[in-house]
C-alpha cells in the first residue's frame, strides 16, 4: 500500500489538514496499522514536492499553525493511475507461518495445532467486532477473516499431509 496514494485519495474528497488526514486514514483503513503524525506530514511534503498536492491555506488561530492541503490536477491523474493499477499476486510464498512449518518439518504438528487455536480465537474477535463496527471496520474484519480462513485451510492440509507422511514412514 502506498501511503501517498491513500492520502491523495482522501484529499480528492476535500482539502484537509494533516491531523484530519491521519484520523480519516485510521478510520477508513480500520485494522491497518495507524499512521504516525510524522509519517503523514513527511508524506504530504513529498506529495507537495512532486506536484501532487499543494498548500491551499495556512491559518493560525490561537494554536499551532494549521496547513490545509489540496490535491492538484497532477495528483488526481496520479491517483487515477494508481487506482487503475492491478495489484500483482505475490510471486513468492512468504510469511512466518509457512517458514516455521517448513523449518520444523515433521515436528510442526504441535505448532500447527496451537496456531489453529490462535487463528480461531482471532476469528471470534473479528466476528464480534463486525456486529457493532462501522462499514470500514466490517470490511477490514471481512478481509482479515477471509485471510485467516485461508490459513486455517492450509493448516488443515499441512496437518493431513504430515499425518500421511507419518503413516507411510
Contact 74, 8 (CB under 8 A): no
What does the radius of gyration of the chain's CA atoms come to, in whole angstroms? 22
- How far CA 83 is from CA of 10, 22, 86, 123, 143, in Å, comes to 13, 20, 8, 30, 19
Contact 148, 122 (CB under 8 A): yes
Confidence band of 169 (pLDDT split at 50, 70, 90): low
Q: Give the orientation angle of helix 37-49 with respect to helix 3-13, to 10 degrees.
A: 80
The model's pTM: 0.73
CA atoms within 13 A on the CB side of 3: 20
Q: How far apart are CA 7 and CA 14, in angstroms?
A: 11
Per CATH, the number for 3-83 is 1.10.10.10
Q: What's the pLDDT tens digit per position in 35-69?
A: 999 999 999 999 999 999 999 998 877 777 889 99
Q: How far apart are CA 128 and CA 133, in angstroms?
A: 9
Give the 3-state secondary structure of residue 156. Answer: helix
Domain ranges of the chain: 3-83, 96-168
Where is 69: in which H helix or E strand? strand 66-71
Q: What's the pLDDT tens digit per position in 86-103?
A: 887 777 677 888 888 888
Give the 3-state secondary structure of residue 112. Answer: helix
Which residues, 6 or more positions from 131, have their beta carbon under 8 angstroms from its beta carbon? none
Q: What's the pLDDT tens digit per position in 106-117?
A: 888 889 999 999
Confidence band of 126 (pLDDT split at 50, 70, 90): very high
Q: How far apart are CA 115 and CA 55, in angstroms?
A: 48
Amino acid at each position: 500500500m502506498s501511503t501517498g496514494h491513500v492520502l491523495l485519495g482522501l484529499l480528492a474528497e476535500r482539502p484537509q489538514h494533516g491531523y484530519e488526514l491521519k484520523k480519516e486514514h485510521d478510520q477508513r483503513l480500520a485494522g491497518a496499522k495507524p499512521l504516525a503524525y510524522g509519517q503523514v506530514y513527511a508524506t504530504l511534503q513529498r506529495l507537495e514536492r512532486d506536484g501532487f498536492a499543494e498548500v491551499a491555506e495556512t491559518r493560525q488561530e490561537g494554536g499551532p499553525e494549521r496547513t490545509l492541503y489540496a490535491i492538484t490536477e497532477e495528483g488526481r491523474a496520479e491517483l487515477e493511475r494508481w487506482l487503475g493499477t492491478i495489484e500483482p499476486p505475490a510471486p513468492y510464498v512468504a510469511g512466518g507461518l509457512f517458514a516455521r512449518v517448513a523449518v520444523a518439518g515433521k515436528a510442526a504438528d504441535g505448532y500447527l495445532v496451537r496456531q489453529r487455536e490462535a487463528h480461531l480465537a482471532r476469528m471470534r474477535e473479528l466476528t464480534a467486532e463486525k456486529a457493532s463496527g462501522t462499514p470500514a471496520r466490517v470490511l477490514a474484519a471481512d478481509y482479515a477473516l477471509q485471510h485467516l480462513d485461508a490459513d486455517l485451510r492450509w493448516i488443515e492440509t499441512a496437518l493431513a499431509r504430515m499425518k500421511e507422511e507419518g503413516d507411510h514412514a
